[in-house]
């Protein structure tokens, strides 16, 4: 498979942004929850984590979505280099997120990639189920996603998901999978 950059889009959280590490940092620093490790997050629904009640879970998620945290949101290793290469071949680079709005993450993406605003496009759908509409509207055929349930929905709509391997998507699936950004880069046609 060689993916044309013009047919490729990306999820943000868990693919580009290391949001789960930030979640763990906030849980520890703001709520005193210790012992939680990245590899412990084996379900995308974080409400299933032992030791975190629903109210605290919601507070942590809101801290992330609203940018009210002292911790730093970091990129997943290698993401910037590959995304900049994609952007050089086709822009704007499209990001589609289930976040209710992209306000807090928009500036972070521009700063992380050192790009001008016209070089990226972010669609915040507000739900995982609505990602397919945004992707189809933009002519996207391939989407890099970490939430396995979303991958099945996208596949049903004719969009080929590429699963970005995470501890929470280790169930059997029929999709192409990458363990890191270097593996993803090898699937992209830069000619």
Listing DSSP states for 41-82 in one string gives --SS-GGGSTT--HHHHHHHHHHHHHT--SSPP-BPTTHHHH
- Are 95 and 175 contained in the same domain? yes
- Are 57 and 93 contained in the same domain? no
pLDDT surpassing 90 at residue 51: no
Q: How many domains does the chain have?
A: 2
Burial of 1 from C-beta contacts in 10 A (0-12 / 13-18 / 19+): exposed
Tell me, what's the pLDDT at 97? 97
pLDDT level of residue 1 (50, 70, 90 thresholds): confident
Name every residue whose Cβ is closer than 8 Å to that of residue 136 and which is 6 or more positions away in sequence: 157, 158, 159
- Are 94 and 178 contained in the same domain? yes
Report if residue 105 sits inside a domain.
yes
Q: Which tens digit of pLDDT belongs to each residue from 146-189? A: 999 999 999 999 999 999 999 999 999 999 999 999 999 999 99
Q: Which tens digit of pLDDT belongs to each residue from 113-131? A: 999 999 999 999 999 999 9
Closest CA relative to residue 27, chosen from 19, 122, 135: 19
pLDDT level of residue 50 (50, 70, 90 thresholds): low
Tell me, what's the pLDDT at 52? 80
Most distant CA pair in the chain, distance = 50
pLDDT surpassing 70 at residue 46: yes
Looking at residue 8, the DSSP 8-state letter turns out to be E
Burial of 161 from C-beta contacts in 10 A (0-12 / 13-18 / 19+): buried
Report if residue 174 sits inside a domain.
yes
- Are 172 and 116 contained in the same domain? yes
**Placement of tokens 């939430």 in the chain:** 147
Name every residue whose Cβ is closer than 8 Å to that of residue 34 and which is 6 or more positions away in sequence: 28
Report if residue 191 sits inside a domain.
no
pLDDT surpassing 80 at residue 16: yes
- Are 141 and 53 contained in the same domain? no
In angstroms, what is the C-alpha Rg of the chain? 16
Closest CA relative to residue 56, chosen from 23, 81, 84: 23
- Are 37 and 109 contained in the same domain? no
- Are 61 and 109 contained in the same domain? no
Q: Domain limits at 99?
A: 5-18+74-185
pLDDT level of residue 35 (50, 70, 90 thresholds): confident
- Are 29 and 89 contained in the same domain? no
Report the CATH number at residue 129. Answer: 3.40.50.1000
Name every residue whose Cβ is closer than 8 Å to that of residue 165 and which is 6 or more positions away in sequence: 177, 178, 179, 180
- Are 119 and 32 contained in the same domain? no
Name every residue whose Cβ is closer than 8 Å to that of residue 154 and which is 6 or more positions away in sequence: 131, 132, 135, 143, 145, 160, 161
Tell me, what's the pLDDT at 29? 93
pLDDT surpassing 80 at residue 69: yes
pLDDT level of residue 53 (50, 70, 90 thresholds): confident
- Are 79 and 158 contained in the same domain? yes
Share of the chain above pLDDT 70, in %: 98
Rounded to an integer, the average pLDDT of 80-99 is 97
Report if residue 13 sits inside a domain.
yes
- Are 54 and 87 contained in the same domain? no
- Are 168 and 88 contained in the same domain? yes
Rounded to an integer, the average pLDDT of 30-59 is 83
């Amino acid at each position: 498979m060689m993916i044309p950059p013009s047919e490729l889009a990306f999820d943000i959280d868990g693919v580009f942004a290391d949001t789960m590490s930030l979640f763990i940092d906030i849980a520890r620093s703001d709520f005193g929850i210790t012992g939680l490790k990245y590899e412990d997050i084996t379900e995308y629904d974080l409400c299933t984590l032992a030791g975190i009640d629903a109210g605290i879970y919601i507070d942590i998620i809101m801290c992330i979505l609203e940018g009210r945290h002292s911790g730093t949101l970091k990129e997943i290793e290698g993401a910037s280099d590959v995304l900049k290469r994609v952007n050089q071949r086709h822009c704007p680079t499209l990001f589609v997120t289930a976040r209710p709005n992209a306000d807090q993450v928009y500036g972070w993406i521009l700063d992380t990639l050192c790009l001008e605003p016209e070089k990226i496009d972010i669609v915040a759908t507000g739900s995982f189920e609505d990602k397919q509409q945004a992707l189809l509207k933009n002519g996207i055929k391939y989407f890099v996603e970490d939430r396995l349930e979303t991958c099945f929905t996208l596949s049903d709509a004719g969009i080929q998901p590429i699963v970005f391997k995470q501890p929470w998507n280790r169930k059997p699936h029929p999709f192409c999978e990458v363990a890191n950004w270097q593996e993803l880069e090898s699937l992209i046609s830069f000619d």
